[in-house]
Chains A and B, each alone.
Chain A
Amino acid sequence: MSKTIINIKNLHASVDGKAILKGINLEVKAGEVHAIMGPNGSGKSTLSSVLAGREEFEVTDGEVDYLGLDLLELEPEERAWEGLFLAFQYPVEIPGVSNMNFLKTALAEKAKHKGLEPVSSKDFLKLVKEKSQLVELSDKLKNRSVNEGFSGGEKKRNEIFQMAMLEPKLSILDETDSGLDIDALRIVANGVNTLKNAENATIVITHYQRLLDYIIPDFVHVLHDGKIIKTGDKTLALELEERGYDWLVKDLV
């Protein structure tokens, strides 16, 4: 049996006193891809924010075990050092901070935390070259300020490039398909699939089924009003595409 990467139990979270997550239970094991789908406002992005450690969300109940650690006790950077990666729905532009300097600092801090020597400049450049090819990111983009002036597709490719550089154990892709044309979608999905192995896991949060044509999920969960109301295999995604969410919600009542 493969090892559990993350185990979310009865997770409740609110923002500004308003309850958004109302008891999420989800276990993700190594080698698995889980898709979380659901209509707008169901809590998809809140879930990814809480897992990544965004401050404005308050966890009111429940627990999250991540590789034997109490995830909710960790700072966002500590979560990253432990191999948790969030691909942002809206990657932030940071003028004046070069993409390369940013990644080098991120890798150095992680190495420091792990008690390792920081990667040498030579090895770093080699790594950059190799990983950027994965998502067809040009040198021009790599050397710019973080996400500054990037198109929507370039930002998402940059997210997957960073993911490749950091080699996470758990990747959470938050609406990574939003705003992507079909070519960009294929490039991004190809990157994610190449990085997938038996030791890591992926949670794909998406509104649409089309990304799941490229990244094949082992499980599909439907989130509604802060709870997972149905879990199935990849065929559930197709059914949702066909029938929408209403039939599930009706069943609930």
Chain B
Amino acid sequence: MTFLKEKIFDIKTSPIDSVEVKNALTQVSEREFPQRKTEDWRYAKLGKILNKNYQFDANEVKDISAFLIPDLEADLVVLVNGFYNEQWSNIKSLDGVTILPIEKASQLDAFKNHFNVLAKESQEIFTSINTAYNQGGVFVEVAKNIQVERPIFILNINAGNGVISNARNLIVVAQSSELKVIQRYVTQNGTENFNNALTEVFVKQNAKVTIEKIQDFSEFDRQVCTEEIHQEKDSNFVINTFTLSGGFVRNGLNIKVDGTNCYSEMNGLFIGKGEQFIDNHTRIDHLKSNCISSELYKGILKDSATGVFNGKVIVHKDAQVIEAYQQNKNVLLSDTATMNTKPELEIFADDVKCSHGTTTGQFDEEAIFYLQARGISKNAAKEMLIGAFANEVIEKISIDAVKDFVLAKLA
């Protein structure tokens, strides 16, 4: 048992055999948790996470059928409270594709060359905690020139009360290969769990990686979820984030575009109700020339929910001929819902085409009246408009079964 705020981590450290774990332990003891005055965390009520007792727990899960996605053909990796679950994971071995519990991968070259390379640059204490205390996760490597047809479905399950999980994933997709990953986060039972998952992704030259991320923890669970992405030249990376539930959700998405002629896309749809808090922080660093990035986040906030969007686009000095587009659109469905949005563009190159825009408003009363005047009841009209608003992001999903699943979740 531990009290996160006092950082008395008498809990087990990561089983990964790497000097990175020891360094991270030192960082945890040196770093402070964010305060209200910490700019990047200013809206987050971190007390929900910090003032709790947490424990590790490799809880049993008796049935996962409720958490599967209908009609999805995929290799299944099940992580329960951050532990790799052999019982429910179901992987077909394919030539050139390695899928292993992360602790078993630590002697592989691809692991040693990539593990923590991106995460160690982070100043976030939650990232250090993940590196120091993770108890499992998955390592995925795709060798050169392989278009993996079966996506990999990483199912993260919170099961228990006051459980902390630090799932750690590492995905390396080699030159000219292609991979799709689905990450889903769900609660089986219990409350006040804290999920602090982190995924590092390396997209090598001319490779393509797509992540479909669906977060629907219970409204009593908390999450800090981090993705660290590295793109080499000619590569393509897309992530679509759907935050459908969760008491406290903080997403940190960081992309380093470290090669010319890359394409990067970040899309998100978040729906907050009750007292939920949903925070999306994204950062894309354009380090090389001739790249395009596109970002669209949409939020729907009901009741007393709070949303945050902070999107940083940084075009470095030597990155010329960059096109970067960013949009954040939000709809508030009640007077007590709140949205805090902040686009940040930092441009140090001259030949750059950037645009950003943000809107926050209520539904167009004229549109609702128009639908009503045609015989569509007020509630149905609102549902119709919510669906239309959300659809622009849902349309981005690259796997039909996942698209249908998200649509059904919204219905």
Contacts and interface: CB of A to CB of B under 8 A. Distances in A.
A102 B372 contact: no
Interface stretch (B257-265, B346-354, B373-381): B373-381
A81 B391 CA distance: 28
B165 to A, nearest CB: 37
A80 B366 contact: no
Contact of B373 (A76, A97, A109): A76
Contact of B385 (A76, A91, A94): A94
Interface in A109-128: 109-110, 113
A17 B85 CA distance: 67
Given A55-B369, A92-B366, A96-B392, A102 B387 contact: no
B373 A80 contact: yes
A232 interface: no
Contacts of A97: 371, 384-385, 387-388
B179 to A, nearest CB: 31
A97 B390 CA distance: 11
A79 B377 CA distance: 11
Secondary structure call for the B interface: helix
Interface in A61-119: 75-77, 79-81, 85-86, 88, 91-92, 94-97, 102-103, 105-107, 109-110, 113
Contacts of B3: none
Contacts of A102: 371, 374, 376, 384
Contacts of B391: 96
A109 B376 contact: yes
Residue with the highest number of chain A CB atoms closer than 10 Å, among B372, B374, B385, B389: B374
A103 B384 CA distance: 12
Q: How large is the interface on B (under 10, 10 to 19, 20 to 34, 35 or more residues)?
A: 20 to 34
Contacts of A55: 369
Contacts of B378: 75, 77
Interface string B337-381: 000000000000000000000000000101101111111111010
B375 A81 contact: yes
Interface string B386-408: 01110110000000000000000
Most buried by A among B373, B385, B389, B392: B373
How many chain A residues sit at the interface, stated as a range, is 20 to 34
B374 A94 contact: no
Contacts of B376: 77, 102, 105-106, 109
Given A109-B380, A110-B375, A76 B388 contact: no
A191 interface: no
A53 B367 contact: no
B374 A92 contact: no
B373 A53 contact: yes
Contacts of B377: 75, 77, 109
Contact of B388 (A95, A105, A106, A166): A95
Instruction: Pick the 4 closest A-B CB pairs, nearest first.
Output: A96-B388, A80-B375, A76-B372, A92-B370
Given A54-B369, A92-B370, A102-B376, 12 more contacts: A75-B372, A77-B375, A77-B377, A94-B371, A96-B388, A97-B387, A102-B371, A105-B384, A106-B371, A109-B375, A109-B380, A113-B375
23 contacts: A53-B373, A55-B369, A75-B377, A80-B374, A88-B373, A91-B370, A92-B364, A92-B366, A92-B369, A94-B367, A94-B371, A96-B385, A97-B371, A97-B384, A97-B385, A97-B387, A102-B371, A102-B376, A102-B384, A103-B374, A105-B384, A106-B371, A110-B375
